[in-house]
Amino acid sequence: MRASLYETIYLAVITILSLWIGLRRLSSPDFRFQERGTGWVFPFLFSIALVLWLGLRPVSYLFGDTVNYAMEYQMLGVRTVQFDWHQEWLWQWLMVGCKSLGLDVKYFFLIVEAGYVMTAFWAVKRIVPDDPMFGMLLMIASLMFFPFAVNGLRNGLACHIVLLAISYLLDDKYLTGALLCLAAFGFHRSTALPIVAVLTGIFVTRNIRIAIAFWVLSIFVSLVAGGAVSGFFASLGFDDRMSSYVMAQDMSIFSRTGFRWDFLLYSALPVVMVWYVCVNRGFSDSWYDVICTAYCICNAFWIMVIRSSYSNRFAYLSWFLYPLVIAYPLIRFPIWEDQDRKAGAAILAYAGFTVVMMLFVW
């Protein structure tokens, strides 16, 4: 399949699925979410198909860093590799392991895509088992799912491993969660931010009001002292790649730098959802409190460096939680009497926004 068709097909697929699921809820007032533990077969099979389709994509500059990763893999000399424990050591192991087995680069990408998609599916199934298809659709229809499937490969893979780690940590399976966090860090060191944010939500505070207040405060900090804060993060030195996101001047990522009010508005929608559900309506549980706290903390740090050229990579450290912040209350909490209709409208608006952005804005 030609590389130029991939984005078009992706947008068509999420449009069709969104219309199917969204209109089904809008047109059926008696529709009820499926019982816990059922309804996972179709999203599982769809995820497998997505892995094959994305993983076996052609190596093309239309997919951004796919070409760079392919060149790095093809030029890799297994016998001359020196592992650098200060870099993404697990990513290095994966590349060396695949190259040692003689796998073609397309199969290397297939393995990476399997990790990216299936960890997301597994996490969704564990966190919102009542309706994993609804949760998975919000995941794949999110604004950054496709770009990080074919461009920001390591960042996307690592963040979805963190997503799976969260599902185990919330279930009090700390050893499994810790090992998954270590794996995510081994793939991309910038995941230190969401890992710390999740641990803060679990062990320090789950107060939603404090998390929202911290998020709001970050806007004022960014407006008043954004440059100084960006320089401070860059000087920490614990992650060279995060520092490059903050200080880079490559304008190929965004059309402009400066305070991105458009992306701030996009990031604010989950915060508004959290405020409405948890503060205004009083619905919450320990799982949702942690997810929301982690999102607010990670997104607040991004807001404070929002002027950076590569801030989309930094933003993804919170945006990968975006679908769960929206999906969880729609599936788990009886917020409205006609909740099924509102959930249907939400998925149509959510997917419609992604389609419009990818077609006409980016």
What is the spatial distance between Cα 253 and Cα 258, in angstroms, rounded to a whole number? Answer: 13
Q: Report the amino acid identity of residue 102.
A: G
Looking at the 3D structure of the chain, how many domains does it have?
A: 1
Computed on alpha carbons and rounded to an integer, the radius of gyration of the chain in Å comes to 20
What is the spatial distance between Cα 234 and Cα 36, in angstroms, rounded to a whole number? Answer: 45
CB 151 within 8 A of CB 63: yes
Query: Which stretches of 101-152 are DSSP H helices?
Result: 105-127, 132-140, 145-150
What is the spatial distance between Cα 185 and Cα 188, in angstroms, rounded to a whole number? Answer: 5
| Residue 256 backbone zone (phi > 0: left; psi -120 to 50: alpha; other: beta) | beta
- Which residues span the domain enclosing 158? 3-361
pTM: 0.91
What is the spatial distance between Cα 246 and Cα 305, in angstroms, rounded to a whole number? Answer: 7
CB 192 within 8 A of CB 239: yes
CB 71 within 8 A of CB 168: no
Per-residue pLDDT of the chain (362 residues; tens, 9 = 90+): 899 999 999 999 999 999 999 998 888 655 554 444 458 899 999 999 999 999 999 999 999 999 999 999 998 876 666 666 667 889 989 999 999 999 999 999 999 999 999 999 999 999 999 899 999 999 999 999 999 999 999 999 999 999 999 999 999 999 999 999 999 999 999 999 999 999 999 999 989 999 999 999 999 988 887 666 666 665 554 444 555 544 444 433 333 456 677 788 999 999 999 999 999 999 999 999 999 999 999 999 989 888 765 566 788 899 999 999 999 999 999 998 888 889 999 999 999 999 999 998 76
